[in-house]
Structure 1
Amino acid sequence: SAMLPHAGTDSQIWRDVVQLGADLRSLAEVRGSTGVAEVAIVWDWNARWAMEQPCQPHGELRFQDLVRHWYAALWRAGVAVDFVRPDTPDLDRYRLVLAPSLYLVDDAGAANLAGFTERGGTLAVGFHSGAVDENCHVRLGGYPGAFREILGVYSDELFPLLPGRSVGLAGQVPQDATADLWTERLRLTGAEAIATYADGPLAGVPAITRHSYGSGTAWYLATHPDPTTLATVLQRVCQDAGVGPEREVPAGVEVVRRRGTDADYLFLIDHSGRGAEVPADGVELLTGKPVNGSVTVPEGGVAVVREEFPASTPRK
């Protein structure tokens, strides 16, 4: 229905629209603030279009699904992210950059990610990345193409898995870890194996690796782990980079921080339908009430807390 439905103003939709207008007025001071994230996920339309062309080694490769797979693990862990291009300048403002799916990347983008890692950043790359250049020409010399040196690995052959098939994983992963969709015959050229394939034609071959590159660290996920395993691996990647959740909150509560000139704004959104008590201090903008120690997030609702900067806090 429209904001003013056929039923007129005696309707829940109209009351909700009026309430939304009041909430937006209460949040007017948030305008101009920016999100605060120490993690970035690489999103590139050219890489998406190239991956979803016919004649890929696997017919079920979907760029957006692969990115969402990694993003969901971070979202559930309460880790805020930005989205960037491979050639985004000033990646150094992030501690961790994730490239879940970057089948196509040009030399400038690959060099930008390598420079970020070399200067001390943490980079994590998903399988079938770096394979082709901006013209969709395969990068010769083995996989993962543009990222072989950064990742410290070499693959001479791809082993996509048939639909419905999976393999076990062993090593620094959950005991019942599995992976599907994709595997590669990987050889270490400087990296260490974090996990290997537990069965199948590549049993014992590295599946997840970690490599020191310059002053930073580069991880490679040469397969598609199950959600629990991926969450465990990405948690370790985050720890490696020194990043974590904004604060500990109940499952299903989203926390996003925005930074203004004189204050931070803590957005708390309950997706669980149960509501929550979250540690905070400041003023809750939607109600105008002071917050001392904790704020109540309504069931299925939102709370926005203004946190004033101490006078001595440097602005960033």
Structure 2
Amino acid sequence: DWNARWALELPSQPSGELRYLDLVRAWYEPLWRSGVAVDFVRPDADLSAYRLVLAPNLYLVDDTGAANLAAYTGRGGTLAVGFHSGAVDENCHVRLGGYPGAFRDVLGVRSDEPFPLLPGQRIALSGAVPDGATGTLWSERLRPEGAEEVAAYADGPPPAFGRGDPHLAALDGVPAVTRHAYGTGTAWYLATLPDPATLAALLDRIRTEAGVEPVRTAPDGVEVVRRRGPEADYVFVIDHSGRGADLPVAPGATELLTGKETAGSVTVAPGDVAVVREPRGR
């Protein structure tokens, strides 16, 4: 959402470190590495085809977009929202009543104060997260209002920051990641930016619970994307690793760049590409 990006990067923000595309990339990378295909859509788009919708940040969102995301979740979808979202409307007017503004009801949480982190500063996380998990860039004082706690701030900043910030130390035990049953769906809130390994673990859990699986199991560094046609699927395999790979494909499939029919698998040479047509109903 262009307006959300523009608003998040205004100089009036509590932190000058907030970059919209950095947050999108941080959430996108572990999905790409897991082989999960991702579409980019607007908040007011038709979301009915998706099992999972991710909003790494929607600082600005209008009533239509917020209502659309809430309705999607209430009908059985899974929604995951990143910190500092829903705070202002389309005119950049602050939504009253506490944060995360437009998403308080669907997320089942309320926040009354943000605590941005300095560059390089981290805050420890505990709970259903990997050992040594930390949050970066942002933290906030969060109170569940129906949501369950998945992870919490474990303490203030690490000793490397001297005496630390007493406000951050006061976050010890405050929820940092929550999960909320809303209608027949589920809404997650990440009130910090977890370190890459922790974010990947959380997104793995979120997508698995939502029933979202990789397009095809593939080695690390091999990208697999599927496009559906009326009579066949088209599987694009790109080797970024430089090692090549063998991938299973459907019986009767054809590798279109060579025109050869496969025998249940396709081999991609190091740094190469394969395009496989898989007939339906075979």
Give the TM-score, by structure 2 length: 0.94
Aligned residues: 267
Q: How far off its partner does 1:246 sit?
A: 1.1
Specify the code of the residue in structure 2 equivalent to 1:113. L
**Match for residue 218 of structure 1 among 187, 192, 196:** 187
1:185 aligns with 2:154: no
Question: How many angstroms apart in 1 are the aligned matches of 2:10 and 2:83?
Answer: 17
Q: Could you tell me which residue of structure 2 aligns to residue 292 of structure 1?
A: 263
Gaps of 5+ in 2: 157-168
Question: How many angstroms apart in 2 are the aligned matches of 1:310 and 1:174?
Answer: 42
Q: Could you tell me which residue of structure 2 aligns to residue 302 of structure 1?
A: 273
Secondary structure of residue in 1 paired with 2:263: strand
User: What's the CA shift string for 1:260-283, capped at 9, x where partnerless?
Assistant: 121110000000000000011300
Specify the code of the residue in structure 2 equivalent to 1:141. G
Question: How many angstroms apart in 1 are the aligned matches of 2:32 and 2:217?
Answer: 13
1:264 aligns with 2:220: no
Specify the code of the residue in structure 2 equivalent to 1:173. V
Q: How far off its partner does 1:175 sit?
A: 0.5
**Match for residue 61 of structure 1 among 4, 14, 18:** 18
Question: How many angstroms apart in 2 are the aligned matches of 1:163 and 1:243?
Answer: 34
Specify the code of the residue in structure 2 equivalent to 1:211. H
Gaps of 5+ in 1: 1-43, 312-316
Larger Rg: 1
Aligned CA-pair RMSD = 0.8
**Match for residue 135 of structure 1 among 73, 80, 91:** 91
Range with greater deviation from structure 2 (239-248 or 125-134): 239-248
Q: Could you tell me which residue of structure 1 aligns to residue 209 of structure 2?
A: 240
After TM superposition, the runs of 4+ consecutive aligned structure 1 residues lying more than 3 A away are none
Q: How far off its partner does 1:110 sit?
A: 0.1
1:84 aligns with 2:41: yes
Give the percent of matched residue pairs that are identical in Structure 1 and Structure 2: 71
Question: How many angstroms apart in 2 are the aligned matches of 1:75 and 1:252?
Answer: 9
1:254 aligns with 2:223: yes
Q: How far off its partner does 1:115 sit?
A: 0.3
Question: How many angstroms apart in 1 are the aligned matches of 2:116 and 2:36?
Answer: 31
Q: How far off its partner does 1:225 sit?
A: 0.3
User: What's the CA shift string for 1:224-254, capped at 9, x where partnerless?
Assistant: 1000000000000001111110121100000
1:228 aligns with 2:197: yes
Q: Could you tell me which residue of structure 2 aligns to residue 25 of structure 1?
A: none
Specify the code of the residue in structure 2 equivalent to 1:145. G
